[in-house]
Chain A
Amino acid sequence: MNNMFQVLTVAKKEYTDALRNKVFLTFLLFLVGLTIISIFIGSLDFQSKVSVYQKAYQQLIQSGQSVGSLTKPEFYPLQLLRGSIEYLEIIGAVLAIALGYLSIAKEKGNNTLQLILTRPISRQSFFVGKLIGNALLLLSVSTIVFISIYAIVTLIGGVQLSTAETIKILSSFFFSWVYLFVFFCLSATLALLFRSLPNALILAFVIWILFVLIIPQIGDTMDTDNQVPGGFFNAIHVDKPQSKIILQQFSGYETARNAIEEASITKHFERLVFALLGINPIYNGKSLSFIYHDKLNETVWLTAYVIFFGASSLFVFTKKQMLWREDV
């Protein structure tokens, strides 16, 4: 009981400390602002596509030609969230890195840990408290982002979301939280391992760039169809089903490309959330159970990542004999 109280006290302190931290608040504001801008841009982009379609339609009608070749843009409200999800992947991860770093840096910088450990509190309780406090903080971040999304889409956009769509948004919200927590644990672990805190932060940024931006980009640029603007297969008049048959002969290359993408947690998160929100059109209108069944691999990867990084940070904190004086 006493242990539980200590854990909750540490967790509460972590939470309130972060709310007073300028770095955290700046990133939170930045993330929410970009989420809103992104939905706005998405809706304007859709309006622009509709307008282009209408102009082309009118021109074809006036010139007496068939309009069969035109594809009418279809509106799926959750697809407007693509940009917001990408910002969550990029800025959300930086925010989680900032939290993980600050959570350890404040103890190292102020030499407060030595003092705390002279009190009757175990290292485990102290760090579990930190993990819980920051997990709750990241949950609040995800809640703020998703409430903003929900409010914009429903209240301002005037779109009525069905129960199934709301559940899909809630599922995406949960996985966003898991994704952010992985980056928190990564950054906290590095800050614990490195004697020099700035070096730990820089390394966390390098890992962030590699796994959030570069590895998914390598996978995309290795895609044969992405070699030509408008699509390689489109340029040589090969349709989608035909291209799949042809690419079966290059399974080694495709496997390597997929393996590169799978090395990135961001890609797993993106594949799962894009399926849930129907941003990937093949999952549009599909049931939640179908999506979870089809994306089991991504769910397992995300779970494995969070367990691995959570356990690593706990292990490092409790087992490592840390030198609490930072190198200059």
Chain B
Amino acid sequence: MYSLYVIAASEVKTLFKERIFFILLGVFIFMTLASSFIGWSTYTTTNAVYGASVIFLHQHGVTHVPANPVLSFPVLASFRNIIVYMFLIGSLMAIVVGNRSFMRERKSGVLQLLFTRPVSLSTLLLGKIIGICFILVSIISLTALVSIMSSYFLPLQHLGSADILRLLVFYSYSFFYLLFFAFLGLLFSIFAESESLGLFIPVCIWVGISFVMPELVTGQTPTSLLNPVTIDQILNQGSFFSLMQHFLTPISLGWHYTSLGSQLLNSTVDTRSTLEILLVNKNNIIVLAIALISSYLLMFTALQKYDVQNDVVNE
């Protein structure tokens, strides 16, 4: 138990000493703040554009103008950009956290030293995972706090307790999503023969999950999913896509994340309760859980096969 604590604490302390981690964290927090501001600014401008459109249409003889569609949006819709930032920067940060965890010790020779001590592989891996979880929870808590606090400084953005609860559910789901990418980073840092490969392979997998799979499922171009408004509106109905949806949708983690995130933050008008949304999307949550367990098992197997005697890390 004590070894577990020492490994986890060392993991956290070492990462918190790294400048690059703080650069990434700074970018992420800045984007969270920007997300609130952009959401608010777009919302108020769109309302003003609606007002100007009504005047324009009246001047041109149109008497009946449909109601302002933006007014039906709940307050949380202003935060929807955070889905994309979590999906992009959050995932990259998680890959880096996972990668640095093992690669640093392989390069410095600490790992070889650690293997001479009476520490089991499962304790080593679990200690590292606990450290990574602590780091991710800290990052996500900070991000959630920034989102909630920013809502009190921007007019028309005050969140009720139900909104805050829903936002917290979204951040909790995000934690598990990011944990999967941290696991990927960790997995490839165990057996990649070079530092660059240890980073490039998870980035490639991330691109596959985030862009290629959604393209095969929806038939839309790779960056279409970066607009949280239209995530659920673009399923293609062709036979090829139906087949792809049948086979790939269950494993398309990026698609699930953006879709569930979009439902939780009410990008489209949604009257369901948080629990109802989670129940409807239970399969997505189960798939993420399976992905986490599988990557844990793969990490454990990779660690068992790790050749401590002949390990050389190239550039």
- Please report A residues at the B interface, Cβ cutoff 8 Å: 22-23, 26-27, 30, 34, 37-38, 41, 44-45, 47-48, 51-52, 82-83, 86-87, 90-91, 94, 98, 101-102, 105-106, 108-110, 196-199, 201-203, 205-206, 209-210, 213-214, 216-218, 220-222, 224, 226-230, 232-233, 235-238, 242-243, 245-247, 249-250, 253, 328
Given A236-B50, A250-B48, residue A229 in contact with residue B56 (CB < 8 A): no
Q: List residues of B (155-181) whose CB comes within 8 Å of A's CBs.
A: none
Q: Mark B9-27, 1 if CB is under 8 A from A, else 0.
A: 0000000001110011001
Distance (whole angstroms) from the CB of B249 to the closest CB of chain A: 15
Residues of the A chain whose Cβ atoms lie less than 8 Å from the Cβ of B89: 206, 209, 214
Given A232-B70, A235-B66, 13 additional A-B pairs, CB 8 A? A26-B204, A41-B215, A45-B219, A48-B241, A82-B221, A214-B85, A214-B89, A216-B223, A217-B226, A236-B65, A236-B69, A328-B104, A328-B107
Q: How far is the CB of A95 from chain B (nearest CB, A)?
A: 10
Could you name 19 residue pairs across A and B whose Cβ atoms are closer than 8 Å?
Answer: A23-B196, A30-B204, A41-B215, A41-B219, A44-B238, A83-B222, A86-B222, A87-B211, A101-B196, A197-B195, A202-B20, A205-B92, A206-B23, A216-B223, A220-B227, A232-B46, A242-B53, A250-B48, A328-B108
A236 to B69, CA, bound (A): 8
How far is the CB of B14 from the nearest CB of chain A, in Å?
12
Complex contacts, A90 vs chain B, CB 8 Å: 207, 211, 222-223
Known: A23-B200, A45-B238. A246 touches B49 (CB 8 A): yes
Count chain A CB atoms within 10 A of each CB in B49, B57, B66, B229 and give the residue with the most: B49
Is residue B212 contacting chain A, with contact meaning CB distance below 8 A?
yes
| Proximity bits, B206-250, A CB within 8 Å = 1, else 0 | 010001100110011111001111100100111011000000000
B251: Cβ under 8 A from any A Cβ: no
Within 8 Å CB of A98, what residues of B? Answer: 196, 200
Measured between beta carbons, the chain A residues less than 8 angstroms from B230 are 226, 229
**Interface on B for A, CB 8 Å cutoff?**
18-20, 23-24, 27, 31, 34, 38, 41-42, 45-46, 48-50, 52-53, 56-57, 60, 62, 65-66, 68-70, 81, 84-85, 88-89, 92, 96, 100, 103-104, 107-108, 194-197, 199-200, 203-204, 207, 211-212, 215-216, 219-223, 226-230, 233, 236-238, 240-241, 268, 314-315
Give every chain A residue within 8 A of B66 (Cβ-Cβ). 235-237
In the complex, what residue of chain B is closest to A197 when comparing beta carbons?
B315
Residues on A with beta carbons closer than 8 Å to the beta carbon of B27: 206, 210
Closest to A207 in B: B27
* Structural contact, A221 and B222, CB atoms closer than 8 A: no
Which of A41, A214, A232 sits near B88, CB closer than 8 Å? A214
CA distance A199 to B19 in the complex (A): 9
| B315/A109 in contact, CB under 8 A | yes
B103 CB contact (under 8 Å) in A45, A198, A220: A198
Instruction: Assess A227 versus B42: contact at CB under 8 Å? Given A87-B222, A90-B222, A232-B70.
Output: yes
Minimum Cβ distance to chain B for residue A287 (Å): 26
Picked from A26, A221, A328, the residue with its CB within 8 Å of the CB of B38 is A221
Q: Complex formed: what's the CA distance from A48 to B237 in Å?
A: 7
Q: Check A34/B212 contact, CB under 8 A, given A224-B45, A242-B56.
A: yes
Chain A residues, Cβ within 8 Å of B237: 48, 52
A52 to B239, CA, bound (A): 12
Note all chain B residues with C-beta closer than 8 A to A23.
194, 196-197, 200
A206 to B19, CA, bound (A): 14
- Expressed in whole angstroms, the minimum distance between the Cβ of A214 and any Cβ of chain B is 6
* A232 / chain B contacts, CB cutoff of 8 Å: 46, 49, 69-70
Q: State the CA gap A197–B314 with chains docked (Å).
A: 11
What is the CA–CA distance of A213 and B57 in the complex, to the nearest angstrom? 36
Q: Are B69 and A48 in contact (CB under 8 A)?
A: no
Lowest 7 A-B CB distances belong to which pairs? A48-B238, A109-B315, A105-B315, A229-B233, A45-B219, A199-B20, A217-B226
Q: Roughly how many angstroms separate A34 CA and B210 CA in the complex, as a whole number? A: 13
Q: Can you name the residue of chain B whose Cβ is closest to the Cβ of A247?
A: B49
CB distance from B123 to the nearest CB of A (A): 25
Chain A neighbourhood of B60, CB < 8 A: 242
How far apart are A244's CB and chain B's nearest CB, in angstroms?
Answer: 11
Is B48 a contact of A227 with CB atoms below 8 Å? Answer: no
A51 touches B108 (CB 8 A): no
Centre residue among A83, A214, A216, A236 by max chain B CB count within 10 A: A236
Chain B residues, CB < 8 A from A48:
219, 236-238, 240-241
For A45, give the chain B residue with the smallest CB separation: B219
B81: which A residues are within 8 A, CB to CB?
Answer: 217-218, 221
For A48, A94, A216, the residue with the greatest tally of chain B CB atoms inside 10 Å of its CB is: A48
Complex partner residue of A27 from B108, B204, B240, B315, CB under 8 angstroms: B204
| Pick from A45, A237, A250: contact of B49, CB under 8 Å | A250
Pairwise interchain contact B233-A41, C-beta atoms closer than 8 A: no
Check A202–B24 contact: CB distance below 8 A.
yes
B229–A229 contact, CB under 8 A? yes
Q: How distant is the Cα of A100 from the Cα of B227 in the complex, in angstroms? A: 31
A214 proximity list for chain B (CB < 8 A): 31, 84-85, 88-89
A216 to B226, CA, bound (A): 10
For residue A242, give the distance in angstroms from its CB to the closest CB of chain B.
7
Docked complex Cα distance between A199 and B88 (Å): 18
The CA-CA distance from A281 to B229 in the complex, in Å, is: 23
CA distance A211 to B275 in the complex (A): 37
Q: B42, A224: Cβ atoms under 8 Å?
A: yes
